[in-house]
Structure 1
Amino acid sequence: MFRPLSLYIGLRYTRAQRKKNFISFISFISIGGIALGMMTMIVVLSVMNGFQNEVKARNLAMAYDIAITDHNPQGFVKDWENVYDAVRHEPNVIAGAPFNNGEGLLAANGQFAPIKIQGVDPLYEEEVSTISDKITADFITASDFSILQPGEFGIILGTDLALSLGASIGDHVTLITPKIQVTAAGAIPRMKRLTVVGIFRLGQYEYDATMGIMNASDSGRIYQIPKNSVSGVRLKLTDPMIARETAERLQQKLGDDYRVSTWIDEFKTLFKMIEIEKLTMFTIMSLIVAVAVFNVVSTLVMVVTEKRPEIAILRTLGMSPMQIMVIFMVQGTFIGFFGALIGMGLGLLIAFNVNHIVSAVESFFGSNVGEAFYVLEIPSEVVWSDIYIVAGIAFGLASLATLYPAWKAAQTQPAEALRYD
């Protein structure tokens, strides 16, 4: 089969003669270095993507896709059902529920802990809550919000919060609010005795250690929220990724009396930090590829030195400097291509099976990663755009590394190279 001469010779040079196999060894080291760097980048980026999506899912389980509140941060949404009716048929909106927010101290068994109260309407909350996706055995499901009956002042606690207070289902706890009531003994904070009716676990410390869920009617009475008013209305969207576009449309419809915010606004700093961490890890892992690229340069420089007489003969036979350059660029590109190919295969293999590998490592060392990170398994998601970028960087750097040795070979003068041969 016909092949261009430069390509044929370049591929031949990738295999050293048996008596000079040191250069072939260096070539294999270069391929291995590029493969290792690419494999590491794929695995790290996939795990970072998985953690990002896991954090997003856990936060949205108790947060909101879109929240409608009063334009005054201290105000309330009056006649919330009318507000919800005005937006419920908008594109991308599939459900909504009222909520009340409150803060205070929770006391039980001589222990105190800060708490964030979220009042919910059990009927509507079932349509927007995704807690049931994150539960474990012996914890509540979304349908269990029905245990929050109005007037009974029941509360569902996060598992870490309940543990810190020594409280379990059926126990009584005391909620101390910042609201002040005047009595014969003077001004004292409002307090209310609550009954623990459930315990939830999202695996997100912010919620598990500080959150309590009550019936919206009961929380409204405790925090003196006017009748038929709530702190806000949260909406569930078909596609949370276009929450901002939907929020802008709703803001125009509702006017300036209301503030429409999204989950992106609430967690902007968190996800920005994750993106920075991902970029930092990507940069650090790229250094492995950069080190391997130096091996490519050194390999080709040694090949050029070894092949100087042969280069001189090829020049005398009529090969142009550009054809000589192509010979050594082919060799370096070959190293980059196979390094990237092997690294991609190994990286994808590990990324798709990371939990099996982690389980084997845990069994060997007798440790448990999940206990440290509040996860049952290591999340991993392969994003193909990341794979293409990583492969392009590895292959591109290897190709660039060929330029100097190839140019050096093209500058070989036949008479000088053959003078002592």
Structure 2
Amino acid sequence: MRSLLAMWIGWRFYLARQSNRFINFISFASTAGIALGVTVLIVVLSAMNGFEKELEQRLLGVVSHGELIGVNEPIYDWQNIVNDANQIPGIVAAAPFVRMQGLVQKVGGFQGLTVLGIDINNEANVSNIKQFMSEQSWQSLGEQETNNIVLGRGLAKSLDLKVGQTLSLYMPNVNAQSQGKIAAAKSHRFIVSGIFELGGELDMSTAYIPMQHAAKTLNLGDSVSGVRIKVDDVFAAPRLIRDLGYSQQQYVYISDWTRTQGHLYQDIQLVRMVMYLVLALVIAVACFNIVSTLVMAVRDKQSEIAILLTMGMKKASVMLIFVVQGAFNGLLGCAIGAVLGVSISLNLSAIAKGIESILGIQLLSADVYFIDFLPSELNGADVVTVVCLAFIMSVIATLYPAWKASQTLPARALAGR
């Protein structure tokens, strides 16, 4: 009963702050600071979640989780590796590939290009690249004897190429290399049969061709450059790929996504942690504005506190009055911040596109980042964590002023009234 009375008085004191304009302004500033901090922290965490999701679903959906590549020679019995991979729990699928490295000419010079020869029947099990191109483009890679090539949209735009046009790829002369001779690069012509649009660096540096044609170009016969592996848990990839590689009779290079793309995941986690700490400190500063508000409120309510103590109210109840008054500031700021943060996070990609169109700029460049748009993935647990953190800090900020209020001497306070 006494707690309810203290909470009711705290609510009345919270409403009565309107009578003092300066206290009202400081109270508004603390509430606005908490709301802004909560909003920004929710939005930043949602953006980091979005980057992580795109890394896993988009980039790691196309880039293999792991690879086994022949050492100084192709892999002859790749089917045996595929069979071994299917026997290891945690490995979802395996698919052969042929990798070619070459140069393509564009305005201003040459650009390096990685060309992957794939078998669409097996590749669909280890990669999501099919989702980023039309069905016609995908089926063109199934015509194994043709010189079809599917380019990324960024590269096609850079080279000013369209479907049906011809691309020349300059590669070292395989026959000369096998004889230990140095020879000029040989040009290989391909017909652009499709365009894929993944976004980011892969659009500019990767292309796909039928695997049999790639093997024929490199004189590999029925052998392949390596085997791509897909696992059900990307974080278990290093262990699973290592176990598969160590079980092979032929010497192979063992590679997994943590060596090629792991820095992106580490960067995302680092930015998430740093931003969380920085914005948590911003919220803490805003919360401690509540201290100023309550200190002035305690001085303003000295006589009321003295009367309550004289009437027999316990010091703990007096503390609760001002804890409740300050907690309302924090609660209001958390509520406003949560609503704004959730609203912005749900529409962050659209908002970013609107800013880009209005200002005529590109926030994320495909030449620098692995995606060219601002992703967002709202996580309810993040919202709850941020709101609880902000509210707890706001309550902690009320303790000292509330304690000072409970130490008020009624006689002295009433004498100075």
Do they superpose with TM above 0.5? yes
Deviations 1:89-117 (A, max 9, x none): 54444432101223232347895221222
Deviations 1:314-367 (A, max 9, x none): 23333333332222112222221222122112211221233454455566x364
1:219 alignment counterpart: 214
Offset at 1:404?
Answer: 1.8
Alignment of 1:73-88 (within 5 A): 74-88=72-86
> Alpha carbons of 1:75 and 1:16: their partners in 2 closer, same or farther (altered >3 Å)?
farther
Deviations 1:14-58 (A, max 9, x none): 112654344234323322221121111111211221123223333
> What is the rounded CA distance, in whole Å, between the counterparts of 1:68 and 1:23 in structure 2?
68
> Alpha carbons of 1:157 and 1:177: their partners in 2 closer, same or farther (altered >3 Å)?
farther
| Conserved 8 A contact 1:157-1:213 | yes
> Alpha carbons of 1:412 and 1:345: their partners in 2 closer, same or farther (altered >3 Å)?
same
> What is the rounded CA distance, in whole Å, between the counterparts of 2:52 and 2:376 in structure 1?
10
Deviates more, 1:259-268 or 1:337-346: 259-268
Offset at 1:220?
Answer: 3.2
1:193 alignment counterpart: 188
> What is the rounded CA distance, in whole Å, between the counterparts of 2:248 and 2:155 in structure 1?
38
Of residues 185, 201, 204 in structure 2, which corresponds to 1:206? 201
1:343 aligns with 2:337: yes
TM-score normalized with structure 1 length: 0.84
1:170 aligns with 2:170: no
> What is the rounded CA distance, in whole Å, between the counterparts of 1:91 and 1:269 in structure 2?
27
1:68 alignment counterpart: 68
Structure 1 unaligned spans of 5+: none
> Alpha carbons of 1:40 and 1:114: their partners in 2 closer, same or farther (altered >3 Å)?
same
Alignment of 1:10-409 (within 5 A): 10-16=10-16, 19-70=19-70, 72=71, 74-107=72-105, 111-135=109-133, 141-147=137-143, 149-150=144-145, 152-168=146-162, 169-177=164-172, 181=176, 187-225=182-220, 227-240=221-234, 242-244=236-238, 246-247=240-241, 250=244, 254=248, 257-258=251-252, 261-358=255-352, 361=355, 365=358, 367=360, 369=362, 372=365, 378-409=374-405
RMSD over aligned Cα atoms = 3.4
> What is the rounded CA distance, in whole Å, between the counterparts of 2:207 and 2:184 in structure 1?
19
Deviations 1:94-149 (A, max 9, x none): 432101223232347895221222222233223333123234x7x964333224x2
> Alpha carbons of 1:134 and 1:241: their partners in 2 closer, same or farther (altered >3 Å)?
farther
> What is the rounded CA distance, in whole Å, between the counterparts of 1:206 and 1:340 in structure 2?
39
| Conserved 8 A contact 1:159-1:199 | no
- Match of 2:141, SS state, is helix
Identity of aligned residues (%): 33
> What is the rounded CA distance, in whole Å, between the counterparts of 1:142 and 1:182 in structure 2?
33
| Conserved 8 A contact 1:106-1:115 | yes
> What is the rounded CA distance, in whole Å, between the counterparts of 1:200 and 1:341 in structure 2?
47
Offset at 1:167?
Answer: 4.1
Runs of 4+ in 1 over 6 A off after TM superposition: none
**Number of matched pairs:** 412
Structure 2 unaligned spans of 5+: none
Task: For 2:81, give the aligned amino acid.
Answer: V
Deviates more, 1:352-361 or 1:125-134: 352-361
